[in-house]
Amino acid sequence: TVKLSVAPADDSSILLDIYIQAAFVPYLWGLLPGARILFRGLQCKVSRFGNVYCVFIASSDVCILTPPHNSPKHLNSTPKFSIGYLSNIPLQPLNLGQAQVTCHLTCILSLSMQWFCDLCNISTEGRPSECNNSCSSHIGMIKATAKILVEDGTSEVMVFCKNQQVQQVLGLSPKEWEIIQNHIRIKGSICLQHNEISTGARILEEQDLLTQYLRNLCRSPVVCRSIVLAFRVDRKSFKTGMLYAFNLRQHLQC
């Protein structure tokens, strides 16, 4: 259960506590400090100590009249790139370049890592000599992609990440990332989907330690954390709701 303490005016010393069950919380965007909110259909109760409080029930409704006036404090030093909140994205111009926002990485929707021949650009399951009969290359590269879901209390969006950004998503050090890539060179490829990650479902390669490690990592607090996300939005993104990551870094809260 989440408790909100609301005031009828900015300078009011009178507070009313509103309790919201966890089942309703994922659908209530915009309940942030400083926002002007209109609640309807709350259930009014009196505690055993005589205090009046309200409960948000299935027939209750909430409307965000205005979002908080202040952007997150850590972004004040870079006002040029800050959009404040994810809910402000549709209000930005279509030619918006790089922007950033503080948000919470909710889950990884998909993760893919694949070894490609550096010359033929063909995936060869870690065996460069088999990519092409006429290819003599023994050098390859790892291509990594991930789709993640982030939210900041005002909205949730899907973000596309690739290569070095995937390392940042997984919270891996350069040495750990190098070890993962070495295993991918041998294995050839690995692909995880959200249903496999969230449920820990058995797959054909259940004895594969790398798959097990990445699956457990993707649903751990190491990954599901508060981040500062630098991203870009293009015209297609406004239609699909997809953002493209530039950079992710840990949001350290004091």
Instruction: For helices 209-218 and 174-187, give the axis angle rounded to 10 degrees.
Output: 140
How many helices (DSSP H) and strands (DSSP E) are in the chain?
5, 12
* Residues 6+ away with beta carbon under 8 Å from 2: 19, 20, 22, 25
Domain(s) of CATH 2.40.50.140: residues in the chain: 80-196+206-248
Which value, to the nearest 10 degrees, does the dihedral of the CA atoms of residues 234, 235, 237, 239 take?
170
**DSSP 8-state secondary structure symbol assigned to residue 26:** G
- What per-residue confidence (pLDDT) applies to 207? 58
Q: What is the pLDDT of residue 129?
A: 43
Q: How far is CA 113 from CA 37, 56, 75, 125, 167, in A?
A: 44, 44, 32, 11, 11
pLDDT value of position 72: 53
CATH H-level superfamily of 80-196+206-248: Nucleic acid-binding proteins (2.40.50.140)
**pLDDT value for 21:** 87
Q: What does DSSP assign to residue 153?
A: S
The closest alpha carbon to 142, from 216, 223, 210, 47, belongs to 210
Among the listed residues 38, 183, 17, the one whose alpha carbon sits nearest the alpha carbon of residue 115: 183
Token digits for 150? 């982030």
Q: Decide: 128 and 140 in contact? Cβ < 8 Å.
A: yes
> What is the spatial distance between Cα 115 and Cα 184, in angstroms, rounded to a whole number?
7
- Tell me the C-alpha distance between 72 and 253, whole Å: 11
Its pTM stands at: 0.71
Going by C-alpha positions, the residue among 19, 113, 12, 29 that lies closest to residue 68 is: 29
| Tens-digit pLDDT string for the chain (254 aa) | 888 888 877 677 788 899 998 788 766 777 877 788 889 999 999 999 999 999 999 899 888 888 776 555 544 445 446 677 888 777 766 566 677 888 889 999 999 999 887 666 555 554 444 555 555 556 678 899 999 999 888 888 889 999 999 999 999 999 999 999 988 888 888 999 988 766 655 555 455 889 999 999 999 999 999 888 888 776 565 555 567 666 666 654 42
Task: Give the pLDDT score at 195.
Answer: 81
pLDDT value for 224: 92
Are 16 and 6 in contact by the 8 Å Cβ rule? The answer is yes
CA distance 97 to 227: 20
Q: What is the pLDDT of residue 88?
A: 79
Rounded to an integer, what distance in angstroms lies between the CA atom of residue 106 and that of residue 90?
21
Distance CA 11, CA 166 (A): 45
H or E, element range at 100? strand 98-117
